[in-house]
Amino acid sequence: MHATTTVRIGISARHVHLKQEHADILFGQENYLLTNFKDLYQPGEYACAEKVTIQTAHGKIDNVRVLGPYRPETQVEISKTDSRGLKIAPPVRNSGDLDGSAPITLVGPAGTVELEQGCILANRHIHLSPKEAEELHLINEDIVKVEIPGEKGGILYNVHCKIKDSYKKEMHLDVDDANAFLLTGKEDIGYILKD
């Protein structure tokens, strides 16, 4: 194997994607508008000023950031370390693949939403535009390996490719993966490996 291209690495802390109906309940206002706190690297996506508590019968995590824009379904993304504290077992999934995922409760300043499913550990994935994917001879949902340099460097397997017109080339890792490779969240890069 040899490296074919570099890829910027973004570290995804625990976060929540909301559908409109649930935001209205959590924040107590019909047709609630999320507040853009900071634009993210992917065009059209942003961190919101709004935060919620996520909880189970065994624990809770306060101040979990909401990400915008709204989604068709509410989704909670946490790390394996988070799941141990909450004593739940969310599956590793692609974003939006929520059937049979873990239940969790969201608590906002004005209301509570109990999800029968919706909590996942997000797959490692790379966002790519169609042009970037074509240059790498990759198609949507291809799975690649990515080499991470550094003192605790290594190879990440099972990295899913997500292709969309609005995307820019960036790999997303959760905090557990990032910590294992001593990533800092500042100008981290990896190398997509080609067989």
* 117-153 residue pLDDT tens: 999 999 999 999 999 999 999 999 999 999 999 999 9
- Same-domain status, 72 and 100: yes
- Same-domain status, 139 and 115: no
CB 158 within 8 A of CB 143: yes
CB 136 within 8 A of CB 127: no
* 33-86 residue pLDDT tens: 999 999 999 999 999 999 999 999 999 999 999 999 999 999 999 999 999 999
The helix, strand and coil proportions of the chain, stated in percent and rounded to the nearest 5, come to: 15, 45, 40
Greater confidence (195 vs 124) lies with 124
| CATH number, position 173 | 2.40.40.20
| Cα angle, residue 38 at apex, residues 122 and 147 outer, rounded to 5° | 40
The most distant pair of C-alpha atoms in the chain lies apart, rounded to whole Å, by 54
- Same-domain status, 74 and 151: no
- Same-domain status, 106 and 139: no
Neighbouring residues of 101: CB distance < 8 A, sequence distance ≥ 6 = 90, 91, 93, 117, 118, 119, 120
- Same-domain status, 30 and 113: yes
- Same-domain status, 110 and 186: no
- Same-domain status, 149 and 185: yes
- Same-domain status, 144 and 185: yes
Number of domains forming the structure of the chain: 2
Give the CA-trace dihedral at 142, 8, 92, 42, to 10 degrees: -90
* 152-181 residue pLDDT tens: 999 999 999 999 999 999 999 999 999 999
Q: Which of 92, 122, 152 is the last residue of a domain?
A: 122
- Same-domain status, 27 and 84: yes
Question: So what's the pLDDT on residue 1?
Answer: 46
Range of the domain at 139: 2-10+124-194
Q: Which of 122, 150, 170 is the last residue of a domain?
A: 122
Per the structure block, which two tokens stand in for 2?
A: 């040899």
- Same-domain status, 154 and 114: no
- Same-domain status, 152 and 184: yes
Residue 3 has pLDDT above 60, yes or no: no
Question: So what's the pLDDT on residue 18?
Answer: 98
- Same-domain status, 20 and 44: yes
Q: Which of 93, 122, 151 is the last residue of a domain?
A: 122
